Amino acid sequence: MKLVGIAGTVEEVSYNKKLLQFMANHFSSQVDIDILPIEGIPMFDQDNDQTETQAVQYLNRKIKAADGVIIATPEHNHTITAALKSVIEWLSYRVHPFEDKPVMIVGASYYDQGSSRAQLNLRQILEAPGVNAVVMPGNEFLLANVKEAFDANGNLKDGKTVDFLATTLLKFTKFVKVINTMNDVPVQTDGAAEEEDLMAQHPVKTTVKDVDMEADDWVEQAAKKTNAVDGDTYVKLDRGLLTVNQLNYFLNTVPLELTYADDNNQFIYYNRGQAKGKMLAPRKPGQTGDPLQKVHPDRAVRGVKKVIHALRTGTDYVMTPVPGWTADKAIIHYYKAMHDENGNYAGVNESVFDVMPVVKWYLKKSGQLLMPDPNAKTDAGASASVDDSASAGGSDTGASASVDNDSASTPAPAPDMSADAGAGASES
């Protein structure tokens, strides 16, 4: 189960951050807790909309993609911090990732009441119209006298406290399953994924209009329409300056088969390093520009929608094998979500590669051997997917129809876990 954790403070040192980190480490065999930083979130100001900034969109994507949320709240003058309140304001203004999302509240405090009043305040905010989170009732975890609670390694010292926290977390995992089943909106629902429009009917700012997407010469027509540069014209890239010819030389010799599908699900590029018959995921020049649905066989469309939907809604990558691995060939499809400078979804970067040449090279150089593990459960022949009935892509496509269980979101760097310093009315 994938959860995200938010410590309601921007303080560099915080016992609430320390509590979340302990939970992430101690219960890692039960849940995957990705701790999200909120230091980059500006104070809420409706007249200066920051919804599309990278910091806000990062939290939006991560929370949407998670099965549930754990919030560790300090108590500032009987309420939550201004920083946490501002985060929730941004995430209930134009985007609403908390809606119907199961939430567990914990908190650490210097004093006996263990942030109980801040937790009550947070519950009221999370359940307010516009936020609409589903907060687990009861089972409050209030860590009091926190200065004496942790040992030098950041672990809770009291065994009974750890046992109670484990019981509360177990109840929350059950709560998450119940709420997501009731809402019928787990992260990868059939219904949500089916809404993906693979026919590219919703133009984005980079869509070339008034050119037939399915034309065999779409590249040539679109290039003429946009006055696209070619040949020895220089293109300034993020960290380089290449001519268009050099860019083609470079991409066509990358030891991967690359495909770019934009956020309108239009297939707009592949690197043509070798002839179709020699490709691991065969492509034809005339397919470039087509809607994604047109470059996949009907049997694969449902699975492709699931892959795209997973990436669009917060999953960082999806990796799946092609069925039929042998001792000489093991083809992997790796789908990576792309985002623009503001963190908005910008399409899919698909790479296809055979890992066996690298494996064999490594074994030869290291003098090691591949040995079968009698206890291993392999899924090399068919990826563990959200739709076991869907088959992999057809002869003219590299996209697979299943989402592998190894799909994951890249975690943000863990915040500093050092102890709180100082005292006073505010605690972090």
Give the tens place of pLDDT for each residue, 303-351: 899 899 999 988 888 888 876 677 788 899 999 999 998 888 999 999 9
Q: Start-end ranges of CATH 3.30.450.20 in the chain?
A: 200-366
Q: Start-end ranges of CATH 3.40.50.360 in the chain?
A: 2-188
The pLDDT confidence band at residue 423, using thresholds 50, 70 and 90, is: very low
Please say whether the structural domain 2-188 has been given the CATH code 3.40.50.360. yes
Tell me the whole-structure pTM to 2 decimals: 0.51
Q: Residue 410 pLDDT more than 50?
A: no
Characterize the bridge pairing of strands 345-354 and 331-339: antiparallel
Is the CB of residue 217 less than 8 Å from the CB of residue 225?
Answer: no
Q: Residue 159 pLDDT more than 70?
A: yes
In this structure, what are the phi and psi dihedrals at residue 34, rounded to the nearest 5 degrees? -100, 115
Q: Residue 388 pLDDT more than 70?
A: no
* CATH topology for the 200-366 domain: Beta-Lactamase (3.30.450)
The pLDDT confidence band at residue 378, using thresholds 50, 70 and 90, is: low
The angle that helices 116-126 and 82-90 make with each other, rounded to 10 degrees, is 10
Predicted confidence at residue 76, as pLDDT, reads 80
